[in-house]
């Protein structure tokens, strides 16, 4: 490998830029091919995409030796470079002292970035893992998360989606991005999957009707509104649940209690989802599988607001005893009646 020497042109790294994006820009600024530049940093240990545009959206991981060559080529200070581009933090692949090497991998993340914002950053691609709460860009009118990411939206027609995004931004300031998006994914899990596909609670059709209406307002084709709803159609309700799940106060209240005060949690849940039908509060069975999950996770000492929520059960811990207690006695009474009739 030739000795590294300073390149004539060194572009400034953008804060939060993806490593592939920066190396592609560095190559372009010096009128060279990104593959050639990466080859100068070290041996590439994985498949390299042929298209240089693709390289700009990949994660490049450098080992110590390759990273030190990059510093020589650019004249950057290590700390400052890694602060701007965290994925450039060098890793040891096999053993310390190894020859310079580079790994290339895909960025797997449900959040994409706003094309309008990228233009303002001279085309630099963001490491969206660092900005996972930017599920929509209100300035440029794009949805950026999961199903429907990249959709152009007129937020004037969908004010509740914009309000939900502002709510998400506030929650991130208060609870941090990691906790907030953890709770958001749990909310999406119930609203978009568990209740939708497996449990069909009685209050759910109203939700679907609301989301289909929103999808039509957003101007999306009818084929997609039937089953594959875009995530932005559910954003408002997902965010409402996220706020409920994030709060340690509500998470504690959700635990089954003999005085049935966990009914307050489910009342709040209905209020957050703007569901009028109070008859649903006869039994927590109308929210399955959430009550069972709360009970199960409580056995491992976890609240809905904890980051450990949903992780596999630890093998070394003895589970706590958490009883099933309903929010009224209607369900238990009807079960007794049913059993009495059968005998
Ligand atoms: Zn934007």
List of residues 6+ apart from 3 with CB closer than 8 A:
none
Strand partners, 101: 43
- Give every residue of the chain whose pLDDT is below 70, as ranges: 47-53, 221-227, 342-343
Distance 139 CA to ligand 1 centre (A): 6
Q: Locate the domains of the chain by residue range.
A: 19-106, 157-342
317/310 Cα distance (integer angstroms):
16
Rounded to 5°, angle at Cα 318 from 314 and 321: 115
Q: What is residue 63's predicted lDDT score, i.e. its pLDDT?
A: 96
Cα-Cα-Cα-Cα dihedral of 179, 185, 188, 190, to 10°? -90
333/343 Cα distance (integer angstroms):
16
Distance 143 CA to ligand 1 centre (A): 10
Distance 177 CA to ligand 1 centre (A): 18
Q: What percent of the chain has pLDDT over 90?
A: 72
Contact between 161 and 151 (Cβ < 8 Å): no
Distance 102 CA to ligand 1 centre (A): 31
Distance 120 CA to ligand 1 centre (A): 9
Q: What is residue 53's predicted lDDT score, i.e. its pLDDT?
A: 63
Q: What is residue 339's predicted lDDT score, i.e. its pLDDT?
A: 81
Ion ligand 1 — residues with CB < 5 Å: 114, 116-117, 137, 139-140
Per-residue burial over 79-100, b = 16 or more CB atoms within 10 Å of its CB, e = otherwise: eebbebbebbebeebeeeeeeb
DSSP string computed for 121-176: TTTPPB-GGGGTT--EETTTTEE-BSTTTT-B--TTT-HHHHHHHHHHHHHHHHH-
Distance 141 CA to ligand 1 centre (A): 7
Distance 110 CA to ligand 1 centre (A): 17
* pLDDT one-digit tens code per residue, 147-163: 899 999 999 999 999 99
* pLDDT one-digit tens code per residue, 288-328: 999 999 999 999 999 999 999 988 888 888 889 998 899 98
Distance 159 CA to ligand 1 centre (A): 17
């Amino acid at each position: 490998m030739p000795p590294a020497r300073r390149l004539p042109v060194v572009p400034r790294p953008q804060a939060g830029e993806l490593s592939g994006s920066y190396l592609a820009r560095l190559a372009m600024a010096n009128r060279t091919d990104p593959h050639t530049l990466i080859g100068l940093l070290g041996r590439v240990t994985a498949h390299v995409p042929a298209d240089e545009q693709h390289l700009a959206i990949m994660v490049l991981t450098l080992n110590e030796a390759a990273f030190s060559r990059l510093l020589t080529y650019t004249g950057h200070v290590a700390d400052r470079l890694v602060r701007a581009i965290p994925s450039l933090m060098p890793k040891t692949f096999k053993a310390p002292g190894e020859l310079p090497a580079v790994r290339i991998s895909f960025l797997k993340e449900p959040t994409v970035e706003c094309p309008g914002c990228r233009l303002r950053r001279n085309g630099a691609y963001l490491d969206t893992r660092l900005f996972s709460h930017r599920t929509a860009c209100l300035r440029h009118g794009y949805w950026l998360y999961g199903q429907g990411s990249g959709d152009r939206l007129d937020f004037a027609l969908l004010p509740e989606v914009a309000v939900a995004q502002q709510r998400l931004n506030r929650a991130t300031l208060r609870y941090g991005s990691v906790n907030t998006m953890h709770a958001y994914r749990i909310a999406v899990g119930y609203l978009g999957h568990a209740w939708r596909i497996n449990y069909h609670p009685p209050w759910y059709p109203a939700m679907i009707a609301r989301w289909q209406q929103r999808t039509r307002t957003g101007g999306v084709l009818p084929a997609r509104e039937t089953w594959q709803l875009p995530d932005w159609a559910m954003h408002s309700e997902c965010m409402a649940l996220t706020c409920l799940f994030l709060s340690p106060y509500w998470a504690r209240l959700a635990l089954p209690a003999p005085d049935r005060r966990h009914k307050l949690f489910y009342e709040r849940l209905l209020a957050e989802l703007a569901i009028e039908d109070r008859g649903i509060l006869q039994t927590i069975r109308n929210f399955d599988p959430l009550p069972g999950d709360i009970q199960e996770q409580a056995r491992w000492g976890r609240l809905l607001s904890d980051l450990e929520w949903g992780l596999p059960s630890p093998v070394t811990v003895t589970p706590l005893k958490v009883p099933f207690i309903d929010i009224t006695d209607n369900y238990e009474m009807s079960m007794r009646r049913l059993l009495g009739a059968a005998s």
